[in-house]
Chain A
Amino acid sequence: MTTEFVFPKIHTFPPLYTEQPNSTILSNQLDSWCQIILQYCEFYKITSLNRNGTPKYSQIESLSIDSLPPIFENKSINRSTNDNFRNVIIHHLIYKLKKAQYIDPKKPELGIYVYWRSLVEWGQLLYDYVDSTGQLGTVLTLYELTKSDESGLPDSLKNLDEGLLIKIVKDYLIKQGKAQILMNEDNEIGGVKIV
């Protein structure tokens, strides 16, 4: 991945990094922030972030996560948000826009999933893939669904975070009655059957 994400113009607007006192402006400002985060994550195919805003997992294997430009900091104008404001932004992203979720609600320090593509869309993608390859009703391992090179896995699903994959299956497909999860003997998820 050679091209770098181009931040929107507002990213160089100094007041963006200060929590605004006016509530209307603040909500506009938070919207702007969330917009930036979503665009950023989509660009780098980042599915989860740490709590401090650094990327946690990206679908793109070649990407070195640590060398990505930080979201909450702009070195050119010498501004960065403080931790408190970051929490506010993430909170807004999760509860107002519902474009993110804690990986584990009991342990928020683990980070968040960022839904630049919603769970429904993910589920649809997965279902379409299984459907189009005629594997409905067969048990597939998680590996097959994410890392397999042979089965013609579409780019969008390739190298998907396993945790996220399980979440998609559990929170969407199972509720729709389209999937089942099979546990192995170690009480781990052994495979997924999509019908």
Chain B
Amino acid sequence: MGSYLNVWEPVLVNKSNRPVLADGEYNILIRDNMGLYQGKSKILGRQNGRIYLTNKRIIYFDNDTNANCMALPLSIVSNCEIIEGFFRSSPKLKIHIRSSNESNDLSKSNSETNGTFPSTNGIGSKVNIINWACKICSYNNQISSNFDFEENDVPKCVSCGIRPNKQYLMKLLEEATRKNSINDKDQTIPDNNGGDNNSPTIVDSTAMIIEDSSNHQLIERRDDQCPTCTFINHPSMKYCELCGTELKTSLPPSLQSKLSNNVSNVSIISKDTDITNNPLRLKIETSEEIYTNNKPYIKLSFRKGGYLEFNQKLIEILDELKWDSLKNKGVINQNSIKQQTPKLRKESLRGPGIHGLELQGEHQRKTNEIILSNTLDDLEQLMFKYQDVLKLSDSFVRFVRPQVNSSKYTVSTSVIPPLLIKKSSTLYLQELSRHISEYSINFELTKASSMITTEELFANYNRYLVSTQGFGTELIEPNDFNKSIELFEELNLPIKLKRYEASGLVVISQRSSTDSYQNFILKCINSFEYEFRYNKLKNIELGLGNDQILSNEYNFFKGLTISQLTDQLEWSYNVTVQEVETCVNNGSIVIDQSIAGTFYHINKFSSNYEDPIDETKLIEKIKQEILNEQNNITNTLKSQYDQENSGNLINVKPDYTFGIGRITQLVNQDTGGNGSELESFRNTPDPSLHSQYESLNDLQGLTFE
């Protein structure tokens, strides 16, 4: 018996202690106070957690340590059954897992559903997938061997969309069927050998067929030869090393399963080191996994009840999954005819006596019944219409949403999965709390310093719900909101409530930053002061110290007003007022009140205050920067000049000096000595102008008499 601890997958967890869901995955049910069993024994460290049932996985979320979270994909679950509680043992849900062979087969069949039509027509006829290479683009297309050329068109190439020659396809099909009939005889032998306990017990017919067909194709070739490119691979390879085609091992399935069993047996011995068998390093109570009937299963223990609904939902999902896989194979609704409802014929009921009256009464009841059922049908129709309307409204969401926010939210919709949990659930508030935390961390509390009042968050959160989930969403009620934000502390979420005693204001902020608001204010003021002094010194350095306007502007550092701080820190005004007040009260900042208003400064009164800005260093720095700036300006001017003049034949000379140069030029012109001027061009070192010299060079040899 192999180890089945490898069925568990790791789960990504977000900051707000919710699992990160995959695309198209959504929560269906959540249960708290759950424990996990592998077979008959408890899995250690997984005895107190929440179980999220999604449409793809069963996610165990540990309440104590996030690292202990894990998930079971539903694709490998075969079915489930309830074990009722007995005295002190809580009710459990037993979830059977497909043994590894089965699950592999299933996934394989899912991936290759493309051209497979399982044997619904008759048990004897076997269907294979045959590869055909497109003659245009050489893409390997697939076609099933029972393809009917008379009913269907010749299929197009999936890659380039060009139809192949019909004869070519038919020939391929013929060849394939011939091979099939030969191999059919051999086929029975390995299957029988496949034997008692190792051969899969409940196997889809499709899966079997594909495995069969793989065996047929391979018997022709060498065992380890790639069917596509004929490269001879190592026998243990699963995919061709050259072209990536899947290889079909020639080993009979019994041998294969034995091989894999051997591997897993070995791994049980060296349990700690084996990663493939137990990737999450789970430890269970007993030293080995024990299963009744030697079938792998896990158990969910419902410490606080609620197992009936869970079971029901799980079965629903499993059915849905099976139905989906059937649908994917395309076996549903084949050749189905819509049933016509028989028309009701009106009877005229008229008879004498009591019998007639009874008949009339009965008739009346019948019509009533029909009317009632019709109305119910209509109601149902209405509900469907309602859902259609919802979908429609969802499609308009992007128009409704304000333009400014659109960029903010479009990124987001995929980030936070919507909250799908019923209000009646006991976990509703907790989940809501987590969801709010997730939202606020992603959108509202983006900076370490940011915080938001509860009122604002409430409004924004509801707006967000509408804009991402359409108008059909239920908005959060203030009561629920208030209760759920109280839970931040209890759930150990990364955000935190903060109350201001003076005004009764409640704000939400990131937990990490709550103690250092004062620092944000101080930093902000300091940076402004630094900037101010920097500019002032720079002006002085630039010789603008005497400028009337500038010297007025940079006379002294005026400090910051509340509104400036609000702007800088992205807090709401109320919050800033509160925070500044606390800062003033604890003495870190001081007030300057004048006619112009109230300004806030860093406290420089205390005797141990040291100026953080070293002016001499600052001056050095400014001098350097001014130098660099001026260098830059000169360089850009120069390059601009060069650029402009490179296209101009007259001005080719970049280091042209008026004065002497001009005189010599004039002299040369007087004497008709055009050649010497060109000579001087040739001495200019600028290579970008070289081509022009070349063109002028033709004239160089000319002499003028």
Please list the residues of chain A having a beta carbon within 8 angstroms of any beta carbon in chain B.
10, 12-18, 20-22, 24-25, 28-29, 31-32, 76-79
11 new A-B pairs (CB below 8 Å) besides A18-B592, A31-B605?
Answer: A12-B556, A13-B601, A15-B592, A18-B593, A18-B594, A20-B590, A21-B585, A25-B587, A25-B603, A28-B603, A76-B556
Query: In whole angstroms, how far apart are the Cα atoms of A29 and B557 in the complex?
Result: 18
Query: In whole angstroms, how far apart are the Cα atoms of A28 and B603 in the complex?
Result: 10
Once the chains bind, are B592 and A21 in contact (CB under 8 Å)? no
B559 CB-CB contact with A under 8 Å: yes
B residues in contact with A77, CB < 8 Å: 555-556
Query: In whole angstroms, how far apart are the Cα atoms of A179 and B587 in the complex?
Result: 49
Once the chains bind, are A22 and B587 in contact (CB under 8 Å)? yes
B residues in contact with A13, CB < 8 Å: 601, 604
A residues in contact with B591, CB < 8 Å: 15, 18, 20-21
14 A-B pairs in the complex with CB atoms less than 8 angstroms apart: A14-B599, A15-B590, A15-B601, A16-B605, A18-B591, A21-B584, A22-B585, A22-B587, A28-B606, A28-B607, A32-B605, A76-B555, A78-B594, A79-B594
B residues in contact with A14, CB < 8 Å: 556-559, 592, 594, 599, 601
B152 CB-CB contact with A under 8 Å: no
Query: In whole angstroms, how far apart are the Cα atoms of A13 and B604 in the complex?
Result: 8
Query: In whole angstroms, how far apart are the Cα atoms of A104 and B558 in the complex?
Result: 40
Once the chains bind, are B601 and A24 in contact (CB under 8 Å)? no
Q: Which of B553-568 contact A (CB under 8 A)?
A: 555-559
Please list the residues of chain B having a beta carbon within 8 angstroms of any beta carbon in chain A.
555-559, 584-587, 590-594, 599, 601, 603-607
Once the chains bind, are A25 and B556 in contact (CB under 8 Å)? no
Query: In whole angstroms, how far apart are the Cα atoms of A110 and B593 in the complex?
Result: 30
Query: In whole angstroms, how far apart are the Cα atoms of A12 and B604 in the complex?
Result: 11
| A-B pairs with beta carbons under 8 A, tally | 62
Q: Which residue of B lies closest to A30 (CB)?
A: B605
A residues in contact with B599, CB < 8 Å: 14-15
Query: In whole angstroms, how far apart are the Cα atoms of A6 and B16 in the complex?
Result: 59
Once the chains bind, are B559 and A25 in contact (CB under 8 Å)? no
Nearest chain A CB to B540 CB, angstrom units: 15
Once the chains bind, are B604 and A10 in contact (CB under 8 Å)? yes
Query: In whole angstroms, how far apart are the Cα atoms of A25 and B591 in the complex?
Result: 10
Task: Given A14-B559, A21-B585, A77-B556, answer yes or no on A28-B605 (Cβ-Cβ < 8 Å).
Answer: yes
Cross-chain contact of A25 among B590, B593, B594 (Cβ < 8 A): B590
Q: Which residue of B lies closest to A24 (CB)?
A: B587
B residues in contact with A24, CB < 8 Å: 587
Nearest chain B CB to A118 CB, angstrom units: 22
Nearest chain B CB to A96 CB, angstrom units: 15
A residues in contact with B586, CB < 8 Å: 22
Query: In whole angstroms, how far apart are the Cα atoms of A15 and B556 in the complex?
Result: 12
A residues in contact with B558, CB < 8 Å: 14
Query: In whole angstroms, how far apart are the Cα atoms of A25 and B558 in the complex?
Result: 19
Nearest chain B CB to A34 CB, angstrom units: 12
Nearest chain A CB to B684 CB, angstrom units: 57
Q: Which residue of B lies closest to A33 (CB)?
A: B605
In this complex, which of B557, B585, B591, B601 has the most chain A Cβ atoms within 10 angstroms of its Cβ? B591
Q: Which residue of B lies closest to A18 (CB)?
A: B593
Nearest chain A CB to B81 CB, angstrom units: 71
Q: Which residue of B lies closest to A32 (CB)?
A: B605
Query: In whole angstroms, how far apart are the Cα atoms of A21 and B587 in the complex?
Result: 9
Query: In whole angstroms, how far apart are the Cα atoms of A10 and B606 in the complex?
Result: 11
In this complex, which of A17, A22, A31, A77 has the most chain B Cβ atoms within 10 angstroms of its Cβ? A22
Nearest chain B CB to A82 CB, angstrom units: 10
Query: In whole angstroms, how far apart are the Cα atoms of A63 and B172 in the complex?
Result: 120
Query: In whole angstroms, how far apart are the Cα atoms of A31 and B604 in the complex?
Result: 12
Q: Which residue of A lies closest to B585 (CB)?
A: A22
Q: Which residue of A lies closest to B594 (CB)?
A: A79
A residues in contact with B557, CB < 8 Å: 14
Q: Which residue of B lies closest to A23 (CB)?
A: B587
B residues in contact with A28, CB < 8 Å: 603, 605-607
Q: Which residue of B lies closest to A21 (CB)?
A: B584
Query: In whole angstroms, how far apart are the Cα atoms of A12 and B590 in the complex?
Result: 14
B residues in contact with A22, CB < 8 Å: 584-587, 590
Query: In whole angstroms, how far apart are the Cα atoms of A16 and B555 in the complex?
Result: 16
Nearest chain A CB to B606 CB, angstrom units: 5
A residues in contact with B607, CB < 8 Å: 28, 31
Once the chains bind, are A15 and B585 in contact (CB under 8 Å)? no
Q: Which residue of B lies closest to A13 (CB)?
A: B604
A residues in contact with B584, CB < 8 Å: 20-22
Query: In whole angstroms, how far apart are the Cα atoms of A13 and B555 in the complex?
Result: 11
Nearest chain A CB to B556 CB, angstrom units: 5
Closest 4 CB pairs of A and B: A28-B605, A14-B592, A15-B590, A15-B592
Task: Given A25-B603, A25-B605, A29-B605, answer yes or no on A15-B559 (Cβ-Cβ < 8 Å).
Answer: yes
B residues in contact with A29, CB < 8 Å: 590, 605
Nearest chain B CB to A37 CB, angstrom units: 15
Query: In whole angstroms, how far apart are the Cα atoms of A12 and B587 in the complex?
Result: 20
Q: Which residue of B lies closest to A29 (CB)?
A: B605
Query: In whole angstroms, how far apart are the Cα atoms of A40 and B256 in the complex?
Result: 101
B residues in contact with A16, CB < 8 Å: 605
Nearest chain B CB to A10 CB, angstrom units: 6
A residues in contact with B593, CB < 8 Å: 18
Q: Which residue of B lies closest to A27 (CB)?
A: B605
A residues in contact with B590, CB < 8 Å: 15, 18, 20, 22, 25, 29
A residues in contact with B594, CB < 8 Å: 14, 17-18, 78-79
A residues in contact with B555, CB < 8 Å: 76-77
B residues in contact with A17, CB < 8 Å: 592, 594
B residues in contact with A32, CB < 8 Å: 605
Nearest chain B CB to A89 CB, angstrom units: 13
In this complex, which of A12, A20, A29, A79 has the most chain B Cβ atoms within 10 angstroms of its Cβ? A20
Q: Which residue of A lies closest to B598 (CB)?
A: A18
Query: In whole angstroms, how far apart are the Cα atoms of A56 and B225 in the complex?
Result: 114
Q: Which residue of B lies closest to A26 (CB)?
A: B605
Q: Which residue of A lies closest to B558 (CB)?
A: A14
Query: In whole angstroms, how far apart are the Cα atoms of A67 and B483 in the complex?
Result: 69
Nearest chain A CB to B579 CB, angstrom units: 15
Query: In whole angstroms, how far apart are the Cα atoms of A12 and B603 in the complex?
Result: 14
Q: Which residue of A lies closest to B606 (CB)?
A: A28
